Structure 1
């Protein structure tokens, strides 16, 4: 399918090129861009307004481009980071154009396109939006680009490993950012199989990032499903504008190496290409949380360091534990007690696969059909190795995507299409790996007892022997644990390595740990901007996407063929400017249709009033309604993880029994009627969100920029995971089925009630909609003060509050967001060639909930810094930087690793 799609894109490109009509009267224009002091500005962009004709200045600040003077005047739009943009009007060709730019340290003249899907000044944006330019991106010192966004107001980034990160705004973070969409040049970068936005593994290398825009809050009215709490947009550099060769190399602690290269060339006035590549590797962060997990639904866990053993968060292979029977043959003090094997640490299971890696190769070709119509086709090849956390801990090994994309774009319209296929490659589930090693036979020929059987047998035998010697219960338990531990396979044994390799490479459900999804996402979208009057604009657009899910039955219920799912939507936005363009009113709406859900309507209304002599004070108010479509995993997953079976919920729903009733009594308590445990999970519907927001963005004098907002959000049909006892087919278990489970004979290792792989009745986990409304509110404030060119001070504070007043005590919201968070920092250019940035970040500890683990995080903080020294004669900038320089506590995901210090040195060579 990818090959067909790419061939079609090339054919369309060729057809357009054959009929193109480029300007016939193109004439050279050249000049220089400099500061008020006469210092050249290399890298300034120069565009002919209303066209795609543009260039950038060289080391001497000089530029040259071709313009058509048939229609006068020709207007040059000139911009450079940290300076006010200028427009220069020409009535005839000129080869000595001089453009002087004035400093604008507050960066309030930035232009964005994400908030309204048309270009507008960032001060006049109707919603809260953050923008980073190329200079700010260059100064980010973290190994993954997106982690550096943590230093901006209202943005939360959680790291489950070195390169696996999730981003959110306004709460409800998770390991896969399902409430925020991530785009590169407006193309979705998610993995179709897992709906994962894996940090920047599928995004752009930093050398090719022109800018980053982050929308806070609901954006479904213009972006559709899952633009629920925001949008992250990475914009790449145009090969027509930013030509030349750039090479960046960094190396540092943890065997860190990051090499990137970008080469762009304008072959003719119509044709340009670029190729971007990057390779990153480092020792990955490994978690070491050995607290007792609280997610035991079939029986309670033992306390940490119990001589009976316990199920630890970051140990894998306790194989569910063995519960001693309530029989006369069992010692009285062990009856009903559960023993756990020690299991294996993540480092032991990952072994020599502990290197985080990222490989990206992004070639593209651009062609100007005319001065204001451009065609671009490209391929993005991405592969990465990192650890991921959701229902379990997973090791994504060479996991990646192939993305084929094409775009035809005019100054007022565009048509885009892409096809993405992901590959699980050699990825594996750590819980499965640990458990299947324990339940493997000691003998390589597959006969005889398993390691788990040997462990539990040794435990019971030694306990009885120790008690017979007259030892106390506690001493006998300790002795039993010590003797039994010698029966567990050691990670250093050759048999362990043999089993590890065998199980990792086996994708058979119930036997192997390999994850081998390979799904496709095909999508297309188009938009047209129609000016109705001088101050009235209408944009209309539409989008279609189709998923084709495949996992060979080991992740999805796709036993015989791919599962197909689709979404279709259309939107419109009307904008009206009044009172000398000081008041901007906008209304937008979008209707989306789904295969599994009823159509949804998402409206947004906003008003922005600009006050002050130069419209420097901007007050905004907006209302937006958004929706979230359940992820493909929520809809179609079918995965047995031992203690629970994960099932999708788009059929007729499920009926069963809660594991604990309203009175707090466990299921199966003698004398308690079954009716008190009855539970029902209707089929999934769309999650809905309504948000009210007010804010201010502006400048106080020439040196201070202030951005402040407050919001209230109301979530209905909130999607969350629920665990209960039920039948796999969705029916409520009968009395006969329940009796059969409780009467199941004890074996070693135990097949406890509702846990046998062969049983129809299991502990199930499905995703369903909560009946309660979930309410949140929050605020954010950002302040920037340009003391002088060498020093700009920055500070921001974010508040996120979850209202639990109407929620049941055990209701899981997966809010996963600190209530209080702040950043303070400084940056600037000490001299023309020396730049720096430093930032301190602090976040309050909070509850973190995932299907894998639930627990409290402590307060966490980090100091990040960067210094760059440019040597123009060598075309080189020497760089030094580091993240979490003080090596503070910085665990952002419960069950994830502590993200420690990483310091690097490097250089950037830039040849225009």
Structure 2
């Protein structure tokens, strides 16, 4: 440690600022000038199809240009990596009678690196009585690997974080110098990793729900439950490769990679939620909602699911009170359960946090304007929502809207 600047000293800060501005591999800076171009559109055909059903069609096109000068992706200087995606959908809604409405849709998506996929969905809304509805839905969804899951190429010194594109096979010589599952070697079992073909993940889910007004329409309840089944779920595992070019790698000295994989067995997810709103006299109202989400995953698979198991929101508000009912206010309390965060760059326990949001408003009827003064995280309780992210404090604002009502 001789000659090393002390932590926090001016010399240390100066050296730190210099190094973080130098791009990798000579420094710690990342250059990401990537672009995303996109077009989205939809058209309601119901004017022409109303005798049969309500019909909506739409589509989208996206072009990713990954430009990092080889600091984040394996893109040569001034030669960004391009990825094109497109999709189209049609949605048909039909009211069969006074108590049953059906909605069906189909969507086709294509990414230039993967085969296209058609995903259907169907929903039924059943009217039990006035302002009381049950809903049932069957849905399928499809997700292409993200740009980083396909193309990231980042040396984190203790391991290399790479994507699932086949070009990495030749770049890191996995075809001639195979890698092995790290967790298997730790358990004394030699299991070779064969760099399987990367696939998009798909989800089949079922949902039931209820929404209704009760107690003379003063109480609104919205509740749901869902069950989902992932196929080819995308996660990450660690593999290790010999630096000598052959043989079984050493767990302590050889090269470790974090690689994306598709888990072939089904992975289940489920959850529920309930929201309650109650109208009180003189325009006061109180609200509460609670939700839970769960994912059942095998040990050793990094999922990046990153969703708290429980979340709670409580609120009280009044939209119009005082002289001429011009004033208003809203107070909301938010709480989120802690969970183990998994990211490409960092993992760790994310603690639970809670915040209080508040807002007051005043209306100016002559100009149809509203003045608002408010705060998100009013008490300025610092928290962070991902490992490696900066702390989030209070946000205080004032706004004026003209000709709003």
> Above 0.5 in TM-score?
yes
In structure 2, stretches of 5+ residues that fail to align are none
Q: For residue 55 of structure 2, what is the aligned residue in structure 1?
A: 538
| Match 1:503 to one of 10, 13, 19 | 19
Q: For residue 566 of structure 1, what is the aligned residue in structure 2?
A: 84
The yes-or-no answer on 1:883 pairing with 2:376 is: yes
Provide TM-score, normalisation by structure 1: 0.40
Q: 1:340-419 residue pairs with structure 2 within 5 A?
A: none
Q: Distance in 1 between matches of 2:68 and 2:351?
A: 37
Q: 1:719 to 1:870 in 2, by over 3 A?
A: same
Q: Distance in 1 between matches of 2:58 and 2:401?
A: 41
| Match 1:864 to one of 332, 357, 375 | 357
Q: 1:710-749 residue pairs with structure 2 within 5 A?
A: 710-726=225-241, 733-735=245-247, 738=249
Cα deviations by residue, 1:33-90 (Å, 9 ceiling, x for unpaired): xxxxxxxxxxxxxxxxxxxxxxxxxxxxxxxxxxxxxxxxxxxxxxxxxxxxxxxxxx
Q: Distance in 2 between matches of 1:658 and 1:816?
A: 24
Q: 1:785-800 residue pairs with structure 2 within 5 A?
A: 785-800=278-293
Q: For residue 109 of structure 1, what is the aligned residue in structure 2?
A: none
| Higher RCO (C-alpha 8 Å, min separation 6) | 1
| Match 2:260 to one of 764, 767, 785 | 767
Q: Are the counterparts in 2 of residues 489 and 496 from structure 1 also a CA contact under 8 Å?
A: no
- Could you tell me how far 1:794 is from its partner in structure 2? 0.5
Q: 1:707 to 1:874 in 2, by over 3 A?
A: closer
The yes-or-no answer on 1:825 pairing with 2:315 is: yes
| Match 2:183 to one of 651, 660, 665 | 660
Q: Are the counterparts in 2 of residues 535 and 578 from structure 1 also a CA contact under 8 Å?
A: no
Q: Distance in 2 between matches of 1:767 and 1:635?
A: 8
Q: 1:26-105 residue pairs with structure 2 within 5 A?
A: none
Q: Distance in 1 between matches of 2:27 and 2:370?
A: 49
Q: For residue 207 of structure 2, what is the aligned residue in structure 1?
A: 693
- Could you tell me how far 1:608 is from its partner in structure 2? 1.1
| Match 2:123 to one of 596, 602, 606 | 606
Cα deviations by residue, 1:509-531 (Å, 9 ceiling, x for unpaired): 31123322222333334444334
In structure 1, stretches of 5+ residues that fail to align are 1-454, 459-485, 666-671, 743-751, 755-761
Q: Distance in 2 between matches of 1:706 and 1:859?
A: 27
Cα deviations by residue, 1:127-180 (Å, 9 ceiling, x for unpaired): xxxxxxxxxxxxxxxxxxxxxxxxxxxxxxxxxxxxxxxxxxxxxxxxxxxxxx
Q: For residue 208 of structure 1, what is the aligned residue in structure 2?
A: none
Aligned length: 389
Q: For residue 332 of structure 2, what is the aligned residue in structure 1?
A: 839
Q: For residue 113 of structure 2, what is the aligned residue in structure 1?
A: 596
Q: 1:666-685 residue pairs with structure 2 within 5 A?
A: 676-685=190-199
- Could you tell me how far 1:573 is from its partner in structure 2? 2.2
Q: Are the counterparts in 2 of residues 847 and 856 from structure 1 also a CA contact under 8 Å?
A: yes
Q: 1:640 to 1:787 in 2, by over 3 A?
A: same
Q: 1:533 to 1:720 in 2, by over 3 A?
A: same
Q: Are the counterparts in 2 of residues 823 and 840 from structure 1 also a CA contact under 8 Å?
A: yes
| Match 1:576 to one of 91, 94, 119 | 94
Q: 1:857 to 1:645 in 2, by over 3 A?
A: closer
Q: Are the counterparts in 1 of residues 340 and 347 from structure 2 also a CA contact under 8 Å?
A: yes
Cα deviations by residue, 1:822-872 (Å, 9 ceiling, x for unpaired): 211111122222111111222222222223333333332222222224466
Q: Are the counterparts in 1 of residues 237 and 301 from structure 2 also a CA contact under 8 Å?
A: no
Q: Are the counterparts in 2 of residues 535 and 577 from structure 1 also a CA contact under 8 Å?
A: no
Q: Distance in 2 between matches of 1:781 and 1:887?
A: 28
Q: 1:12-31 residue pairs with structure 2 within 5 A?
A: none
- Could you tell me how far 1:495 is from its partner in structure 2? 6.7
Q: Are the counterparts in 2 of residues 716 and 774 from structure 1 also a CA contact under 8 Å?
A: yes
Cα deviations by residue, 1:360-390 (Å, 9 ceiling, x for unpaired): xxxxxxxxxxxxxxxxxxxxxxxxxxxxxxx
Q: For residue 622 of structure 1, what is the aligned residue in structure 2?
A: 137
Q: Distance in 2 between matches of 1:547 and 1:827?
A: 43
Q: Are the counterparts in 2 of residues 549 and 563 from structure 1 also a CA contact under 8 Å?
A: yes
Q: Are the counterparts in 2 of residues 645 and 763 from structure 1 also a CA contact under 8 Å?
A: yes
The yes-or-no answer on 1:639 pairing with 2:154 is: yes
Cα deviations by residue, 1:174-210 (Å, 9 ceiling, x for unpaired): xxxxxxxxxxxxxxxxxxxxxxxxxxxxxxxxxxxxx
Q: Distance in 2 between matches of 1:714 and 1:823?
A: 28
Q: Distance in 2 between matches of 1:802 and 1:787?
A: 38
- Could you tell me how far 1:500 is from its partner in structure 2? 3.8
Q: Are the counterparts in 2 of residues 656 and 733 from structure 1 also a CA contact under 8 Å?
A: no
Q: Distance in 2 between matches of 1:599 and 1:726?
A: 34
Q: 1:594 to 1:875 in 2, by over 3 A?
A: closer
Cα deviations by residue, 1:194-235 (Å, 9 ceiling, x for unpaired): xxxxxxxxxxxxxxxxxxxxxxxxxxxxxxxxxxxxxxxxxx
- Could you tell me how far 1:782 is from its partner in structure 2? 0.9
Q: Distance in 1 between matches of 2:101 and 2:368?
A: 45
Q: 1:20-419 residue pairs with structure 2 within 5 A?
A: none
| Match 2:344 to one of 851, 873, 892 | 851
Q: Are the counterparts in 2 of residues 658 and 678 from structure 1 also a CA contact under 8 Å?
A: yes
- Could you tell me how far 1:570 is from its partner in structure 2? 2.4
- Could you tell me how far 1:489 is from its partner in structure 2? 4.3
- Could you tell me how far 1:909 is from its partner in structure 2? 6.4
- Could you tell me how far 1:505 is from its partner in structure 2? 3.4
Q: For residue 908 of structure 1, what is the aligned residue in structure 2?
A: 400
Q: Are the counterparts in 2 of residues 861 and 889 from structure 1 also a CA contact under 8 Å?
A: no
Q: Distance in 2 between matches of 1:651 and 1:903?
A: 45
Q: Are the counterparts in 1 of residues 234 and 262 from structure 2 also a CA contact under 8 Å?
A: yes
Calculate the aligned-residue CA RMSD, in Å.
Answer: 3.0
The yes-or-no answer on 1:549 pairing with 2:42 is: no
Q: Secondary structure at the match of 1:661?
A: helix
Q: 1:647 to 1:890 in 2, by over 3 A?
A: closer
- Could you tell me how far 1:501 is from its partner in structure 2? 4.3
Q: Are the counterparts in 1 of residues 273 and 291 from structure 2 also a CA contact under 8 Å?
A: yes
Provide TM-score, normalisation by structure 2: 0.85
Q: Are the counterparts in 2 of residues 543 and 568 from structure 1 also a CA contact under 8 Å?
A: yes
Q: Distance in 2 between matches of 1:818 and 1:590?
A: 30
Q: 1:768 to 1:905 in 2, by over 3 A?
A: closer
- Could you tell me how far 1:660 is from its partner in structure 2? 3.0
Q: Distance in 2 between matches of 1:692 and 1:889?
A: 37
Q: For residue 144 of structure 1, what is the aligned residue in structure 2?
A: none
Q: Are the counterparts in 2 of residues 876 and 907 from structure 1 also a CA contact under 8 Å?
A: no
Q: 1:787 to 1:541 in 2, by over 3 A?
A: same
- Could you tell me how far 1:874 is from its partner in structure 2? 9.7
- Could you tell me how far 1:630 is from its partner in structure 2? 0.6
Q: For residue 587 of structure 1, what is the aligned residue in structure 2?
A: 104
